[in-house]
Amino acid sequence: MLAVIPVRDSALPAGAAEAIAECGGRAFIVGSGAAKAASEIEAVDVRVSELGAYAPGAWADAIAPVVASEHVIVLPSSPDGRDLAPRLAHRLARPLLAGAIAVHRGGAAVARYGGLVIEEFGVGEPFVATLQPGVRGIEAGAGSTPAPVVVDVTPTDGRDCEVLEVLPPDAATIDLAEAPRIVAGGAGLADATRFAQLQRIASELDASVGATRVVTDRGWMPHERQIGTTGVVVSPELYIAFGISGAVQHTSGLGTPTHIVSVNVDPYCPMMQLADLAIVSDANAVLDELEARLQPAAR
């Protein structure tokens, strides 16, 4: 098994470490700044290829002959990983198992229907898979990573669309698994209008909006905004929880946020115990005060 990790400007995508761990520490880092990115991973076998500007079709053409001998190829289910994986599978004439939560030589367990169903797929031939970030976790490192082996390949021309512009990520629509800042609401918020308010506040803070399963079950937020075991696994730099008690189904989807702020009337609920800053107050009232202070006239 080999993890193929696409990088841009030396930045490792979400889920890179987990994909490498799933493949027993064998990694092939490809893209721009691949060598520098390789210095930030833990692995036992590392190959790198500098492929220049992101062009998934050309990259797939270039690396397909290099990885053709690998029975299983795993990419992180990051935006670029999801973009490159089907192209690579097509070039290699292999099936693709997308959205896996576990991959092994004989197949993969794949999340379906928004994570409500896990299906086990057995594959009797070589295949390509994408591994969801935040699901597997990684073990503590053991030993140093060897110097990477440079693989010289030349991307082809004319197999990709022309890139006219690369826009910065929009916090309102970015995949929650990739979001650096998240404000989330739970059952402590009064009604659906509070989540419209939460979205306005998130826009001012350049943050994404998340929710608990209770909220998405009520239809106040779409399912793709749900954080937890049956939703999205996140690991932001900042996580602000409004009216979230912290049931294990939710907190197990938090990964390792750098900072957690919790607002709740119950000072002893699990989310308050996890928080770096715990604010004992009604989350609805705090939202009103926060929105008022974020208004341009209040600045």
Neighbours of 150 (CB within 10 A): 12
Residue type, 146: P
Question: Which pLDDT value is given to residue 178?
Answer: 83
Under 8 Å between Cβ of 247 and 227 = no
Question: Which pLDDT value is given to residue 132?
Answer: 87
Query: Order of strands, edge to edge, in the sheet holding 208-211?
Result: 208-211, 181-185, 238-242, 259-264, 277-280
Q: Is it the case that residue 137 has pLDDT exceeding 80?
A: no
φ, ψ for residue 10, nearest 5 deg: 70, 5
Q: For residue range 175-214, list pLDDT tens digits in order.
A: 888 889 999 999 999 999 999 999 999 999 999 999 999 9
Q: Is it the case that residue 299 has pLDDT exceeding 60?
A: no
Question: Which pLDDT value is given to residue 217?
Answer: 93
Question: Which pLDDT value is given to residue 146?
Answer: 81
DSSP-assigned beta bridge partners for residue 111: 118
φ, ψ for residue 130, nearest 5 deg: -110, 140
pTM of the model: 0.71
Residue type, 103: V
Q: Looking at residues 8-35, what average pLDDT do you find?
A: 92
Q: Is it the case that residue 135 has pLDDT exceeding 90?
A: no
Residue 54 banded pLDDT, cuts 50, 70, 90: confident
β 96-104/238-242 pair status: unpaired
Residue 213 structure tokens: 């399963």
DSSP-assigned beta bridge partners for residue 278: 262
Residue 141 banded pLDDT, cuts 50, 70, 90: low
The span from the CA of 29 to the CA of 16, in Å, is: 10
Max mean pLDDT among 43-57, 110-124, 195-209 falls in 195-209
Question: Which pLDDT value is given to residue 252?
Answer: 86
Would you list the DSSP string of 158-212? SSS------PPPPTTTS-GGG-SEEEEE-TTS-SHHHHHHHHHHHHHTT-EEEE-
In order of start, what are the domains of the chain with their CATH numbers? 2-150 (3.40.50.620), 176-298 (3.40.50.1220)
Q: Is it the case that residue 140 has pLDDT exceeding 70?
A: no
